[in-house]
Amino acid sequence: MTMTPRLRKFALTAHLISSVGWLGAVFVFLDLAVVGLTSQDAQTVRGAYLVMEPAARFVLIPLAFASLLTGLVQSLGTTWGLFRHYWVVFKLLINVFATTVLLMYMQTFRSMAGVAADPSTDLGVVRNASPSLHAVLALLLLLVAAVLGVYKPRGVTRYGWRKQHELRRVLVP
Amino acid sequence: MADPPAYPGTPRWVKAFGIIAIAVVLLFVVRLLTVGGEHARHTPSDASGGHTPPSSVTEGHKPLEGGNR
């Protein structure tokens, strides 16, 4: 199935906006995580961990799924395909992996918010290095995905190679 | 009908990325199995159970009012 040029451009725009939006949101999360670790103000530290859970639920998760969905539409609706080129396969794997880890991490966000909401909890217990580590890893993954999407390095899979030659046979009998 | 040319093989960058990807996934799995339980330490019940914050922490800071979530 191949999309019309107008639809293809629309799908590409949607994919770019959601993917770059996701990347930007992770940058903000890294900032929140660093503020939570380093701020000297108790309310700022608690606020940083309190805001992470709703921000992840209403911003990170929707953007992650939007990026995945628009990426699938973009690849299946064009000649790139989903499993024909290695760079597309890697982008898909990165997206699925990052989204899965994010969904698993929601429980940790809830736990950290619960601890931060309790005023009797020691600030040392509220502070947690885990969000910074996860944000840095997520940033690395999403930056690699962005670079792959822009440079589109050469390399077709065996399946892509077979499909290319099947298509060539149809076009040049 | 001519046979299709032989598959040129997997590019080097794919092999390098593949090794890194496997390493990242393995690290993630190992971390999940070894440190995964650490988050439980941060549950509210554990944190408040019998724990008294040092005065240096609470001094000068108003506790958060209810409804901050």
What chain B residue is nearest to A89 in terms of C-alpha separation?
B14
pLDDT of residue A35: 97
- pLDDT tens string B20-33: 999 988 988 898 88
CB < 8 Å to A123, chain B: 53, 57
Min distance A43 CA to chain B CA atoms (Å): 7
* Spatial contact of B7 and A158, defined as CB atoms under 8 Å apart: yes
Which of A50, A122, A169 is opposite residue B57, by nearest beta carbon?
Answer: A122
Q: What's the whole-model pTM score?
A: 0.81
Is the interface score ipTM higher than 0.90? no
CA distance B47 to A37: 18
How far from B68 is each of A36, A51, A113, CA to CA, in Å? 16, 10, 10
Nearest to A113 by CA among A29, A67, A47, A160: A47
Residues in chain B whose Cβ is within 8 Å of chain A: 1, 4-5, 7-8, 10-11, 13-14, 17, 21, 24-25, 28, 39-40, 42-44, 47-48, 51-54, 57, 61-64, 68-69
Q: A85 φ, ψ to 5°?
A: -120, 140
Per-block mean pLDDT, blocks of 10 residues, chain A (173 long):
88 96 97 96 96 97 98 93 96 96 95 95 94 95 96 95 86 72
Contact B48 A112 (CB under 8 A): no
CB B61 to CB A42 under 8 A?
Answer: yes
Question: Which residues have CB under 8 Å from A115's CB, separation 6+?
Answer: A49, A121, A125, A126, B42, B43, B44, B47
Q: Any idea of the CA torsion for A31, A141, A104, A107, to the nearest 10 degrees?
A: -10
